[in-house]
Amino acid sequence: MHSHHSHSGSYVSHAEDTLDEIVDRAIELHFQTYCLTEHMPRYKAEDLYPEEIERGFTCTRLGEQFDQFYKHAKAVKETRNNDPQCDTRILIGFETEGGLGNYQLDQCLKLRLTYPVDLIVGSIHHLDSIPIDFDRENWLKAKDATTSNGSIRDFYFHYFKTQQLMIQKLKPEVIGHFDLIRLYNNDGDQLFQWPEVVALIEENVELINSYDGLIELNSAAIRKGWPSPYPKSDIINFVLSKGGKFCFSDDAHSVGQVGLNYLKMLEFVEKSTGINKIWYYDLSNTDKLIQKSIPISRLRDHAFWNTN
């Protein structure tokens, strides 16, 4: 079992439980790979989250927290991965803050040079610096700010164009919650009836394939009310038709969310998609990042199901 995307209350204000507690739970559940990916810092005060989430925070503090996270995660990785009694491989990464402009993307590249992580999760959380996954009110505000007529169609186009710029510049090993833009659309959408949006998605998938990146199946969407992970089945099957590859992520923000809804996610994959294998990252004997895969038919044999 694998997750390439996680957070802890040690370093993220909207998460709970410590980094060590998150890791202990992943090991208890016999995760084969578990990647620690706190959010990268933000560098402009206007990009901080609403007051109730980041009250008293500054950009300087976020930078200091990230430095502490990296040192902590590095120590955890060294200890756990060298423990012969531990069957969980710990990886270190961070999640990007796409949608805050080119400056943030440039800072992401600099951050990776300073902190040599195993991978990065490329995610879009903002459009025109407005958070789109915080609540519906901000989602609507972002829609109005990025479109001339409040069109969902134009809003989606703007999102996938922003995602494309992030992919082009950062080439993230994992693409986070690919269709997050759909989270607060209570009226449904006709995404695949919009040729210009589909063309953008196709271009993004081709970009990801060009450097052999993975798109995550993110179970967090289920705890947020969806019957499926991100992305929805229409995008999953479109990605498969273009030769794209998927990995699993729980996007945990607490101990209780480690591996949460993985059975529902697996059942969805089996019944509603054409996925026949899941890809994941591991480390070579020289600590280099490598890709491996496992057939869907073998996932139910994993020790994870006996402990969850």
Stated as kind and residue range, the H or E segment containing 127 is strand 126-127
How many domains does the chain fold into?
1
Helix extents (H) in the chain: 19-28, 51-54, 59-81, 102-114, 136-146, 152-170, 195-210, 220-223, 233-241, 262-272, 296-299, 304-307
* CATH number, domain containing residue 175: 3.20.20.140
CA distance 157 to 75: 42
- Cα 286 to Cα 5: distance, rounded to the nearest angstrom: 23
Q: How far apart are CA 286 and CA 293, in angstroms?
A: 20
Contact 119, 172 (CB under 8 A): yes
Tokens of 280: 């994941």
The pLDDT assigned to 231 comes to 97
Spatial separation of the C-alpha atoms in residues 144 and 57, rounded to whole Å: 28
Question: Residue 167 has which token pair?
Answer: 């992919």
The predicted pLDDT at position 55 comes to 65
For 241, the token pair is 């038709």
Residue 203's domain comprises 2-307
Residue 112 near residue 169, CB atoms below 8 Å:
no
Q: CA 119, CA 94: separation in Å to the nearest integer? A: 7
Question: What is the pLDDT at residue 292?
Answer: 97
Q: List the Cα angle 42/288/208 in 5-degree steps.
A: 60
CB atoms within 10 A of CB 9: 17
CA proximity to 289, closest of 125, 112, 163: 112
What is the phi/psi pair of residue 174, to 5°? -125, 135
- In angstroms, rounded to a whole number, what is the distance separating the alpha carbons of residues 302 and 289? 22
What pLDDT tens digit does each residue of the chain (308 aa) get? 999 999 999 998 889 999 999 999 999 999 999 999 999 998 888 887 765 566 677 888 889 999 999 999 999 999 999 999 999 999 999 999 888 889 899 999 999 999 999 999 999 999 998 999 989 999 999 999 999 888 999 999 999 999 999 999 999 999 999 999 999 998 888 899 999 999 999 999 999 999 999 999 999 999 999 999 999 999 999 999 999 999 999 999 999 999 999 999 999 999 999 999 999 999 999 999 999 999 999 999 988 888 76
CA-to-CA distance for 118 and 92, rounded, in angstroms? 5
